[in-house]
Chains A and B, each alone.
Chain A
Amino acid sequence: MNQPLLSVAGLDIARSDDPTRRVVRNLSFDIARGEILAVVGESGCGKTVTSLALTGLLPDGLAIAAGTLAFDGAPLRPAELRGRRIGMIFQDPMSALNPMFTIGDQITEVLRAHLGLRRAAARARALELLALVRLPDPARIIDTYPTRLSGGQRQRVVIAIAIACNPDLVIADEPTTALDPTIQAQIMALLAGLRETLGIAIMLITHNLGLVAQAADRVMVMYAGRKVEEAPVEPLFARPLHPYTRRLLAATPHPGHAQSRLAEIPGLVPSVFDLPPGCPFAPRCDVAEARCHGSEPALASVYAGHFAACHFVAP
């Protein structure tokens, strides 16, 4: 059995002043080398906070309250790995780049800080990276400012920075949500290509099930701070086990299928600080019965590699 690249076990993320107020609860997952793991869920499900914990960027007031994080067999030290072995791509490429510095400055800064490259070597590597992310005319773009670039071009620059130090893992948090669909397709193809050619593992955080179907090897579905389902991509779409996953799929437009009406999920996503007793999805679930409101189901292995936290699927 190969050792996973990233291993998270029993992670709790809670308010620093009150460890019982948890936003992520008992979360465990692995990412293998070269794998694309999609993390799916709605606002407040804990997917972004988890990625911030992995990179040591949790906002003030939140902290890791429990759990072990390992990277490549050793305890994960976010500050040492971030930018070097773990690259990051954020949703909004405009706010991820500093408008006051040239593209070249922002890429070479990373290379000089993390790899100790000298000015000329860093510039040569920056040109290579701009070509690698398929920006036209790297020699011109390297000396321009972010505002001169389109949204798609800026996201390519952000990707160039994320992969500058040959990372093992890239965390991409909604990397295409701010972009046009045509540009989204370009960026997703670029990310898939980087995985193929460089063997980079990707943690793809998204709410878009279409992107998951297109790009992911495995999928983790989160709801109210917990993992509620995990499976390789084909079984997740072919036979989703958790009612939340099923309802989420039904609420997603399937173009070309002449749906007269989208299946909606009634109610609202609950606040993680005010969870109902029992299964957090029970109040919105169409199959919930008494025990669902009484006790929270544990995550159970249902098929090989396919887990779900639901009373109805527990073996």
Chain B
Amino acid sequence: MIPLLAIEDLHCRFDTPGGPLHAVRGVSLEVAAGETLGLVGESGSGKTTLAKSIVGLVRPTAGRILLEGQDLATADRTARFAARRAVQFVFQDPFASLNPRRRVAQLIREPLDVHRIGTAAERDARVAWLMARVGLRPEWGHRLPHEFSGGQRQRIGIARALSLTPRLIVCDEPVSALDVSIQAQVINLLADLQRELGIAYLVISHDLALVETFAHRIAVMYLGRIVEIGPAAEVWRQPHHPFTRALIDAVPVPDPAIARLKRPILEGDPPSPLGTPPGCAFAPRCPLAVARCHTEPPLLRPVGEKRIASCHLVN
């Protein structure tokens, strides 16, 4: 079966005054229809660049992005335009991502106008349906974004992303700007929409606890590469890569009995994407690294069923 989204050996490299910045270094992954894949990693791991390349905001320097088997880079203009409808983006900051001078109904309707979907009356009806579906009152359509709270603004962003009935929504830190009680509202809304409409999500987040709760599978990135992928609960219970282990250990669990256990703390800072260590990129911070890790980069290999990891110490 052809996956909804397949990324094959994707590279994104930028020229910067500090030298070439290799943000994404050969990433391959798949997202199935109706699935949520959580993508976690530290700042500079390349997760946002990867997300932007999927929605066409960054042009990859090598590799392929296949949407239902079709390569977006080589597709003609019409096919690319159609593909853009199938993949939408929800941004982190609901303040910055909405034009402050457009009314909410206009903001949600804009993608329908751009893609010339339906008649004017059909578009209006669709906007009213979308607003109701994400928990906004349709009579608020004439309001401006600043009249809404952060959580409501994120609902506007979701309604806008939904307007073209996408197959995949890429969400970059969709709730990290929101209060705890509102985070749960937005996450539950995304989960309900998935059940109802079969949308797949690629959720980028630094919050592993949230991703473990919300995603079906977790992909972990380190310095531009995927280092582990697997079903969320299994990765949490038994991580294979030492970096995944360190990320899990760093999560402050809301239970004093667990949170106060002494756990190893990962030393050092996230590495700069400007450099290229000779062996495993994680070796300089890895508590388990052996000589081989500093010279020979490990390959991403299957570890049991449905799981892959790149570490010399995993058999």
Asked if A pairs with B, the answer is: yes
Interface residues of A (CB under 8 A from B): 42-43, 150-153, 180-186, 188-189, 207-214, 233-234, 237, 247-249, 251-256, 258-259, 261-266, 268-269
Contact present for B266 and A252 (CB under 8 Å): no
Q: Which residues of A contact B269 (CB under 8 A)?
A: 150, 152-153, 183
Cα–Cα, bound, A255→B185 (Å): 18
Q: Which of A182, A208, A255 contacts B42 (CB 8 A)?
A: A182
Which 5 pairs show the lowest CB-CB distances between chains A and B? Answer: A210-B252, A265-B181, A214-B259, A262-B184, A213-B259
Q: Which of A189, A213, A269 contacts B265 (CB 8 A)?
A: A189
> A181 and B208 in contact (CB under 8 A), knowing A210-B251, A210-B252, A214-B259?
yes
Cα–Cα, bound, A249→B256 (Å): 12
Q: Which of B43, B151, B255, B259 contacts A180 (CB 8 A)?
A: B43
B183 within 8 A of A: yes
Q: Tell me the minimal C-beta distance from B138 to chain A in angstroms.
A: 18
Contact present for B256 and A237 (CB under 8 Å): yes
Give the nearest-CB partner of B152 in chain A.
A268
Contact present for A150 and B270 (CB under 8 Å): yes
Q: Which of A185, A252, A265 contacts B250 (CB 8 A)?
A: A185
Give me 25 A-to-B residue pairs in the complex whose CB atoms sit less than 8 angstroms apart, sorted by A's number: A42-B182, A43-B179, A150-B269, A152-B269, A180-B206, A182-B42, A182-B266, A183-B42, A184-B252, A185-B252, A207-B180, A214-B256, A214-B259, A234-B256, A237-B254, A252-B254, A255-B212, A255-B253, A256-B236, A256-B237, A261-B188, A262-B213, A264-B188, A268-B182, A269-B179
Residue of A43, A152, A182 contacting most chain B CB atoms (<10 Å)? A182
Contact present for A233 and B181 (CB under 8 Å): no
Contact present for A42 and B247 (CB under 8 Å): no
Contact present for A182 and B210 (CB under 8 Å): no
Q: Tell me the minimal C-beta distance from A37 to chain B in angstroms.
A: 15
Q: Which secondary structure dominates where chain B touches chain A?
A: helix
Category for how many chain B residues contact A? 35 or more
B209 within 8 A of A: yes
Contact present for A268 and B260 (CB under 8 Å): no
Cα–Cα, bound, A264→B149 (Å): 16
Cα–Cα, bound, A151→B43 (Å): 10
Contact present for B184 and A42 (CB under 8 Å): no
Contact present for A233 and B256 (CB under 8 Å): yes
Q: Tell me the minimal C-beta distance from B230 to chain A in angstroms.
A: 15
Interface flags, B215-257, vs A, CB<8A=1, else 0? 0000000000000000001001100000000111111111111
Q: Tell me the minimal C-beta distance from A296 to chain B in angstroms.
A: 20
Cα–Cα, bound, A213→B258 (Å): 9
Cα–Cα, bound, A189→B207 (Å): 19
B303 within 8 A of A: no
Q: Which of B187, B209, B267 contacts A210 (CB 8 A)?
A: B209
Cα–Cα, bound, A181→B233 (Å): 19
In B98-143, the 8 Å CB interface with A consists of: none
Q: Tell me the minimal C-beta distance from A235 to chain B in angstroms.
A: 10
Residue of A42, A252, A255, A262 contacting most chain B CB atoms (<10 Å)? A255
Q: Which of B187, B246, B252, B267 contacts A208 (CB 8 A)?
A: B252
Contact present for B181 and A248 (CB under 8 Å): yes
Cα–Cα, bound, A211→B209 (Å): 13
Q: Which residues of A contact B274 (CB under 8 A)?
A: none
Cα–Cα, bound, A164→B101 (Å): 47
B191 within 8 A of A: yes
> A209 and B180 in contact (CB under 8 A), knowing A184-B250, A268-B151?
yes
Give the nearest-CB partner of A136 in chain B.
B268
> A210 and B43 in contact (CB under 8 A), knowing A180-B206, A253-B209?
no
Known interface pairs A184-B252, A213-B255, A268-B152; 15 further A-B residue pairs with C-beta atoms within 8 A, sorted by A's residue number: A180-B42, A181-B42, A184-B250, A185-B249, A189-B265, A237-B256, A247-B181, A251-B183, A253-B214, A255-B248, A261-B188, A262-B184, A264-B185, A265-B181, A269-B179
Contact present for A248 and B180 (CB under 8 Å): yes
Give the nearest-CB partner of A247 in chain B.
B181
Q: Which residues of A contact B251 (CB under 8 A)?
A: 181, 210, 255
In B245-292, the 8 Å CB interface with A consists of: 246-260, 265-267, 269-270
Cα–Cα, bound, A256→B236 (Å): 7
Q: Tell me the minimal C-beta distance from B66 to chain A in angstroms.
A: 31
> A249 and B184 in contact (CB under 8 A), knowing A181-B208, A189-B265?
no
Give the nearest-CB partner of B41 in chain A.
A180
Q: Which residues of A contact B151 (CB under 8 A)?
A: 268
Q: Tell me the minimal C-beta distance from A307 to chain B in angstroms.
A: 19
Cα–Cα, bound, A268→B254 (Å): 23
Cα–Cα, bound, A181→B260 (Å): 16
